[in-house]
A and B are shown apart, each in its own frame.
Chain A
Amino acid sequence: MKAMGATQDEYYRGMRMVPYDLVKELVLAVAGVGILAVVVAAILSSPDVRPVTIAAWAQNDPVDFVTTASGELAGTTISAGYGNPYNTNGPGQAWGPVAPQKWFGTRIPIDSANAFVIQPLAIAAQENSQLSSGLDVWQKASSDQQGKWLDSYTKALADAKVTNGAVVVADGDYGPLTEMMSSLLVIAQSGGLDGLLQISGRFYQTDYTPALLFMGDGGYLSGQAQSWNLLGNQWGMMNETGRYPGQTWLWLYTMWYQVWPFTSDTGFLGLNASNADLGIIILMTVLTAALAAVPLIPILRDVPRWVPIHRLIWREYYEPKRKAA
């Protein structure tokens, strides 16, 4: 049938027509849905759990904070070894020759050690001669020496104790690391690091990439998320804080993260847990395209004819035909 003005009459020829008020239906629907939304909003409100700050992280879990900061210097954190679009330190995800993470390069450059630790300390060192000299020693040391200090310090952090908010480790040869990490912790606990990580050379700032990457490297943010069932292996993307529905429409996308082959180390056809993000995005793209193309796909387009739900929907239409038969 063509979308011609006259052809609707042809299309409906022989069909009984009844009076219909489209505008009235729309107005009543807007009013009804509006009343429902207002009532539900007034009774149930909406989730608004305060965001985590770096200050809260440093105050509540100083050992995790210092361990993460040390990891940034050692290049062992998630962001430090991420790969594109932040740096070239990791291969990124790929499925055979399909490697879009690599294709578009380092478009949001982040040097984790410098951005999260050295630069904030360099600013603080302007008013702190002890920190300034410690930072100078660190930067002039060979990478081999830095590695030894970091290795010793990281091992010591496993048995660290917290005294009056400060992280105390056993005596050892950590070079200037103790001074650097203590200073960074104090800056963070005071709230200074929240601001320092947002400095971009401009007054206004709306990009939280550095602060969120740094927090994502630690265990505190994900620990909070776990308590709200927000982690990826908890169907996190469709969940929300509190007893609210969240993005339930992402159930299919989220489901793939819970099932084989995307939970498996070996996987299937090269798709496994290590490239699950890429595999699931490809899969969902294919499924979405298939949904749009349902009218053209045999079996999928025939299911509505086989499943008699349409007989319930158009009961009034089929009933006389059934009785006549």
Chain B
Amino acid sequence: MDTASPSIVQPADEGAGWTQRVRQVIDKQLPMDHLLPTRQPYYVGSWVYVFGVVTIAALVWVVVSGVVLAFMGPQWWHDSAVGRFFNSLHFWSVQLFFIFMVLHLWGQYFMAGWRHGRAATWAIGVVIFGISILTAFTGYLSQQNFDSQFIAVNAKDAMNAAGIGAFFNVLNFGQMYGLHIMLLPIGVTILVVLHIVMVRARGVVKPIDPEGGARP
């Protein structure tokens, strides 16, 4: 009896098929050397580049503390010392996230980070900023304390005047809480991943050429 394993027979044409095509696109657009680079232009040593990565780091802590709060439920952060601590951790992570994000935004503005085909990366960054504001706003409405109570009463007029209030009822805790812990964070996270992938695919922009403009 022949016990030798038969060798794997490869298909004649690996180039066909959707999977292969997706692999080709990823290999072309985002090779591992770009996604996880081990070398960068020397000017990336500037301190301004830190704001992007610490924004992501703060987002990690926002999500981690938020998951703990969501798991334990709304009463926990009012009634227990540990819950109060995690609520505080969530609160300050959000504050740090916005501080770093705004610094990152201003840094990228004065670096004209949209140049050389990076306008979409800039625009998605602005969308992330907008959705983050909405996410934080629903968070403030979900706190179940005096702040959330009065912010809801105060904010309803702007929402209603814009017609948004007919669908986005800031006085409805259930709706705001659901949006805050589920849809909006998913939106922020997906867009942040897309933003990072776009940055990595194109690499960091070169310094502004004194002779050139700041056009895209």
Residues of chain A with a CB closer than 8 A to B189's CB: none
Residues of chain A with a CB closer than 8 A to B137's CB: 247, 250
Contact B163 A41 (CB under 8 A): no
- Does A207 have its Cβ within 8 Å of any Cβ on chain B? yes
User: CA–CA, A8 to B151, complex, Å?
Assistant: 48
Choice from A8, A21, A208, A317 contacting B171 with Cβ under 8 Å: A208
Residue of A nearest to B126 (CB): A292
Contact B161 A275 (CB under 8 A): yes
* Interface segment out of the listed A114-122, A140-148, A150-158, A209-217: A209-217
Q: How far is the CB of A7 from chain B (nearest CB, A)?
A: 9
Bitwise, A14-40 to B at CB < 8 A (1) or not (0) is 011111111101100110111011101
User: CA–CA, A239 to B180, complex, Å?
Assistant: 20
Choice from B41, B126, B133, B166 contacting A16 with Cβ under 8 Å: B41
User: CA–CA, A225 to B123, complex, Å?
Assistant: 37
Contact A21 B38 (CB under 8 A): yes
| B interface majority secondary structure | helix
Number of A-B contacts (CB under 8 A): 305
Contact B88 A29 (CB under 8 A): no
Q: Which of A192-238 contact B (CB under 8 A)?
A: 206-209, 212-213, 215-216, 221-222, 224-225, 228, 230-232, 236-237
- Does A324 have its Cβ within 8 Å of any Cβ on chain B? no
- Does A107 have its Cβ within 8 Å of any Cβ on chain B? yes
Contact B42 A16 (CB under 8 A): yes
User: CA–CA, A213 to B93, complex, Å?
Assistant: 32
Q: How far is the CB of B31 from chain A (nearest CB, A)?
A: 5
Contact A49 B147 (CB under 8 A): yes
Question: Can you offer 26 A-B residue contacts whose CB atoms are under 8 A?
Answer: A4-B28, A8-B34, A12-B203, A33-B57, A37-B96, A41-B92, A48-B84, A49-B147, A51-B149, A85-B160, A85-B169, A107-B166, A207-B175, A237-B155, A247-B133, A249-B98, A249-B133, A250-B133, A250-B137, A281-B164, A292-B122, A295-B115, A304-B109, A313-B46, A316-B42, A317-B207
Interface residues of A (CB under 8 A from B): 1-5, 8, 11-12, 15-23, 25-26, 29-30, 32-34, 36-38, 40-42, 44-52, 82, 84-85, 92-93, 100-101, 103-105, 107-108, 206-209, 212-213, 215-216, 221-222, 224-225, 228, 230-232, 236-237, 240-241, 244-250, 275, 277-278, 280-282, 288, 291-296, 301-305, 307, 309-310, 313-318
